[in-house]
């Protein structure tokens, strides 16, 4: 995969991107009126779509005056279950579609939530922007630079309100950690790291082919071509359909799925935006079995940032111990091993000056959750907590690691050219 844009493509997209990035917070073109009901469609009705998106919005639908009016999914059972949830909530029958294209063609839909497969995200985001509908899009936003730039530039040209699904930004503790960092009490960072381990890769939990026959995914219930999208053509396989998180044809593995939350969070806390270089290695070392999963069960990436610190992310799915999340600084460290109760101390700080004593709790700062923030911004036109710029930044870091892992070479990022380079 060549992630470098040629000069002509760059010049075409750069003009749009630069102009749009300079938009003020209130210059969005489709701000919803205070009394207008926001009509939402769910694209992708799996567990993430139903349990996170739909239930997350439902908590706010009366206060924020929103409701679901359509659902779309290649699997009949998933979209019917999503429609049944809407029937219970609103007492009406919502529209059901196989394809996201039918959703975007409707003029009675104001916003969509994308919780489809990873390899669908970028093109669905771009199409949503071209349809001038607001959007909540799951990460990873894209799997290569070409589709990332197309999606980002379409969003900026459309002036829609976007929330990227890195919801950790909206935790009260994350806001508090950001304010703590801005205070300067920890001093300059030298290293930020997360080890996110488990006894088994997360994708095993999604494989449903072992269920009783009545609960299995049946070929006649799935639009297989809609599922495959732009992935390599292959025969219907219920294990692939439910366990796609484990196959590199449809996703980029732990860094793009789990590590992106970590990347986005340290960007949010420290204000860093883009790494200058990355090296990444890993492989399938532990879980070699009849599933033939191709995503690495062990992976480690190192990024260097222009602010002068190194970032390390690793996943070990061969042993569940050793998980940690730390910000190591010259006057101490910020400990996010427990995301819901972070602490800070002077431990290990070579330039600790007595400003920090003991182990201190980072006091939460209350803030609207990620879904409510998106709903509110559709009415105010303000930037969301995780706007398209933030999604672009963490996606760049992820793609640098994916490229390095895939080709076995160090990657760098040239911001002026919007290009990831290998070598």
The answer to whether the CB of 276 falls within 8 A of the CB of 306 is yes
Distance CA 34, CA 115 (A): 27
- At residue 6, the pLDDT reads 40
Q: Beta strands 134-137 and 111-114: pairing type?
A: parallel
Q: Report which of 237, 222, 223 is spatially closest to residue 292, judged by C-alpha positions.
A: 237
Q: Is the peptide bond before 140 cis (omega within 30 degrees of 0)?
A: yes
Start and end residues for every CATH 3.40.50.720 domain found in the chain: 23-167+371-385
- At residue 113, the pLDDT reads 99
- At residue 208, the pLDDT reads 84
The answer to whether the CB of 118 falls within 8 A of the CB of 252 is yes
CA–CA distance from 358 to each of 223, 334, 339, 346, 353 (Å)? 58, 12, 19, 7, 13
Distance CA 2, CA 4 (A): 6
- Coil, helix or strand for 399? helix
The fold for domain 23-167+371-385 equals Rossmann fold (3.40.50)
pTM of the model: 0.92
Output the DSSP codes for 232-300.
Answer: PP----HHHHH-GGG-TTT---HIIIIIHHHHHHHHHHH-----SEEEEEEE--S--STT---S-SEEE
Q: Which residues of 27-49 are buried (b: 16+ CB within 10 A; e: fewer)?
A: ebeebbeeeeebbbbbbbbbebb
Distance CA 83, CA 71 (A): 7
- pLDDT digit of tens for each residue in the chain (423 aa)? 444 344 334 333 333 343 333 333 334 456 877 778 999 999 999 999 999 999 999 999 999 999 999 999 999 999 999 999 999 999 999 999 999 999 999 999 999 999 999 999 999 999 999 999 999 999 999 999 999 999 999 999 999 999 999 999 999 999 999 999 999 999 999 999 999 999 999 999 999 877 777 778 999 999 999 999 999 999 999 999 999 999 999 999 999 999 999 999 999 999 999 999 999 999 999 999 999 999 999 999 999 999 999 999 999 999 999 999 999 999 999 999 998 999 999 999 999 999 999 999 999 999 999 999 999 999 999 999 999 999 999 999 999 999 999 999 999 999 999 999 998
Neighbouring C-beta atoms of residue 168, cutoff 10 Å: 18
Distance CA 420, CA 392 (A): 13
Distance CA 65, CA 104 (A): 21
Rg (CA), the chain: 22
Torsion sign over Cα 244, 399, 180, 357: positive
Distance CA 151, CA 142 (A): 8
The answer to whether the CB of 4 falls within 8 A of the CB of 420 is yes
184: left (phi over 0), alpha (psi -120 to 50) or beta: left
Distance CA 312, CA 201 (A): 20
The answer to whether the CB of 57 falls within 8 A of the CB of 165 is no
């Amino acid at each position: 995969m060549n992630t470098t844009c040629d000069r002509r493509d760059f010049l075409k997209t750069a003009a749009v991107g630069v102009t749009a990035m300079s938009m003020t917070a209130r210059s969005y073109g489709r701000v919803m009126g205070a009394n207008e009901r926001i009509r939402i469609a769910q694209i992708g009705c799996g567990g993430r779509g139903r349990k996170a998106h739909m239930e997350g919005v439902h908590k706010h639908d009366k206060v924020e005056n929103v409701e679901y009016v359509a659902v779309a999914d290649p699997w009949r059972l998933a979209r019917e279950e999503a429609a049944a949830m809407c029937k219970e909530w609103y007492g009406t029958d919502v529209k059901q579609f196989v394809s996201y294209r039918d959703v975007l063609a409707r003029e009675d839909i104001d916003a969509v939530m994308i919780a489809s497969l990873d390899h669908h995200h970028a093109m669905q985001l771009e199409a949503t922007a071209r349809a001038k509908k607001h959007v909540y899009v799951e990460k990873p936003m894209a799997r290569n630079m070409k589709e990332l730039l197309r999606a980002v530039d379409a969003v900026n040209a459309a002036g829609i309100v976007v929330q990227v699904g890195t919801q950790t930004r909206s935790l009260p503790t994350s806001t508090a950690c950001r304010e703590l960092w801005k205070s300067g009490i920890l001093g300059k960072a030298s290293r930020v790291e997360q080890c996110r381990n488990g006894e088994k890769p997360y994708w095993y939990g999604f494989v449903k082919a072992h269920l009783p026959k009545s609960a299995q995914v049946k070929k006649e219930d799935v639009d297989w071509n809609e599922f495959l999208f732009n992935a390599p053509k292959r025969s219907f396989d219920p294990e692939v359909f439910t366990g796609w998180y484990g196959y590199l044809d449809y996703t980029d593995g732990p860094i793009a799925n789990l590590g992106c939350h970590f990347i986005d969070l340290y960007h949010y806390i420290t204000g860093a935006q883009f790494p200058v270089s990355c090296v990444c290695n890993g492989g399938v070392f532990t879980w070699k079995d009849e599933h033939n999963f191709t995503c690495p069960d062990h992976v480690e990436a190192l990024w260097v940032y222009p602010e002068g610190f190194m970032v390390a992310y690793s996943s070990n799915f061969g042993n569940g111990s050793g998980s940690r999340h730390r910000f190591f600084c010259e006057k101490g460290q910020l400990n996010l091993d427990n995301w819901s109760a972070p602490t800070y101390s002077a431990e290990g700080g070579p330039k600790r000056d007595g400003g920090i004593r003991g182990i201190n709790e980072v006091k939460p700062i209350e803030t609207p959750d990620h879904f409510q923030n998106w709903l509110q911004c559709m009415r105010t036109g303000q930037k969301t907590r995780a706007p398209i710029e933030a999604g672009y930044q963490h996606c760049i870091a992820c793609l640098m690691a994916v490229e390095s892992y895939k080709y076995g070479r160090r990657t760098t990022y040239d911001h002026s050219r919007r290009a990831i380079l290998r070598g």
